[in-house]
Amino acid sequence: MASASLLKTSPVLDKSEWVKGHTLRQPSTSAVRCHPVAPSGLTVRASSYADELVKTAKAIASPGRGILAMDESNATCGKRLASIGLENTEANRQAYRTLLVSAPGLGQYISGAILFEETLYQTTIDGKKMVDVLVEQNIVPGIKVDKGLVPLAGSNNESWCQGLDGLAPRSAAYYQQGARFAKWRTVVSIPNGPTELAVKEAAWGLARYAAISQDNGLVPIVEPEILLDGDHGIDRTFEVAKKVWAEVFFYLAQNNVMFEGILLKPSMVTPGAECKDRATPQQVADYTLSLLRQRIPPAVPGIMFLSGGQSEVEATLNLNAMNQAPNPWHVSFSYARALQNTCLKKWGGRPENVKDAQEVLLIRAKANSLAQLGKYTGEGESDEAKQGMFVKGYVY
């Protein structure tokens, strides 16, 4: 695409110029942020990483592939391990993540993997760096950079997402370790409003995080999750989603984020989990595509949906319905539970089950790959895969 060549870039710096945790880099000379007389006059959407960001985003948004979200915090990973009777130790977390990243041929269906900080610096049980295994599999390593949700003062019991303090040096360090994209998850709750305040805070936080990420070579995944909790109908979800995305893009633009170098991670437009009226995959697809068409500029290369508590099969069916006709952006998946659930159960913590568990993971990954291409047929799905995974008031 012509756009990348139009951006002024300076060469990506040699890693040897980095000192962990500190930056020796001079402020980017190609990003002229203000005209001396006119602070608002000249904006250039570029950092010294512009070309690389575009390339990375495109690689992740490649046809037939999506993201494996495996960035559960230690506490959340603990819940997963507990569900199969395992203790929450670093060794067990290491064993589980090793299983995931070493699944043979995973890179055919998975273009990126989001890691938690511990995993980014971990080795597999055979002593290889997790990031190296991923790169060999042609999977781009990513890193969760937010520091979780906390109560938002002055709101209607809503949350906001922390993590901006020190984000720049942290991002630079993650880049040095091999991460090439980042993720920040904020939430919006429909039963609580959402209030103007909560929506603006969510959007503004995402915009600041995105700008800082790009400045440090990481493609930001922009994730404002509209929680499934509630008994509202699909029309209400649609209304809130339109508002949220309008705010997000407005602030992204104000923060001079380069859209060709971001990815989005939205929730699909569905009824609330407790709503009596369910929706078919076709309805979910229609509403969700309308939302995207009305709010997402085509410069964004990829839209990677979160599963948010849908069952493995539901999440695949809905994605498939959205890919029955060509879209101006790559419409794909960034699934955690919807990729890992059955695999985790199959493993049960036993080394002898690793191969079978990896098989199961590949089955789900392939199903979603087909869904991305609009070719999923749903044959041979197990009952386990069809089980819903919604947890009321889910806390990561």
Partner 1 sequence: DELAKNAAYIGTPGKGILAADESTGTIGKRLASINVENVEENRRALRELLFTAPGALQFISGVIFFEETLYQKTASGKLFVDVLKESGVLPGIKVDTGTVVLNGTNDETFTQGLDGLAQRCQKYYEAGARFAKWRAVLKIGTIEPTELAIQENANGLAMYSAICQQCGLVPIVEPEILVDGPHDINKCAAVTERVLAACYKALNDHHVMLEGTLLKPNMVTPGSDSPKVAPEVIAEHTVRALQRTVPPAVPAVVFLSGGQSEEEATINLNAMNKLKTKKPWSLSFSFGRALQQSTLKAWGGKAENVAKAQEAFLVRCKANSEATLGTYKGDAKLGEGAAESLHVKDYKY
Would you tell me which residues interact with partner 1 (CB under 8 A)?
1-3, 6, 35, 37-38, 40-45, 242-243, 246, 249-250, 253-254, 259-260, 290, 292-299, 328
Q: CB under 8 Å to 2, separation ≥6 — which residues?
A: none
Query: Which strand (E) or helix (H) includes residue 58?
Result: helix 50-60
C-beta closer to partner 1: residue 3 or 83: 3
Q: What is each CA distance from 194 to 191, 236, 294, 296, in whole angstroms?
A: 7, 11, 20, 21
Residue 10 beta carbon to partner 1: minimum distance, rounded to whole angstroms: 17
* Residues 304, 252 contacting (CB under 8 angstroms): no
Residue 328 beta carbon to partner 1: minimum distance, rounded to whole angstroms: 4
* Residues 188, 226 contacting (CB under 8 angstroms): yes
In this structure, are strands 140-144 and 149-151 parallel, antiparallel, or unpaired? unpaired
User: Active-site residue among 117, 265, 314, 381?
Assistant: 265
| Cα separation, 53 vs 240, whole angstroms | 30
| Cα separation, 217 vs 56, whole angstroms | 10
Question: DSSP assignment of 106-137, as one string?
Answer: GGGTEEEEEE-HHHHT-B-TTS-BHHHHHHHT
C-beta closer to partner 1: residue 7 or 134: 7
C-beta closer to partner 1: residue 291 or 385: 291
The question of whether 225 is a catalytic residue gets the answer: no
Amino acid at 142: G
C-beta closer to partner 1: residue 332 or 368: 332
59: tokens are 């690689």
User: Active-site residue among 72, 158, 223, 225?
Assistant: 223
Residue 355 beta carbon to partner 1: minimum distance, rounded to whole angstroms: 42
The question of whether 72 is a catalytic residue gets the answer: no
| Cα separation, 384 vs 38, whole angstroms | 60
C-beta closer to partner 1: residue 2 or 153: 2
Amino acid at 118: E
Closest CA to 384 of 293, 289, 313, 282: 313
C-beta closer to partner 1: residue 59 or 296: 296
Residue 274 beta carbon to partner 1: minimum distance, rounded to whole angstroms: 27
Residue 294 beta carbon to partner 1: minimum distance, rounded to whole angstroms: 4
Question: DSSP assignment of 72-111, as one string?
Answer: --HHHHHHHHHHTT----HHHHHHHHHHHHT-TTGGGTEE
Residue 68 beta carbon to partner 1: minimum distance, rounded to whole angstroms: 26
365: tokens are 């990954």
The catalytic residue positions are: 223, 265
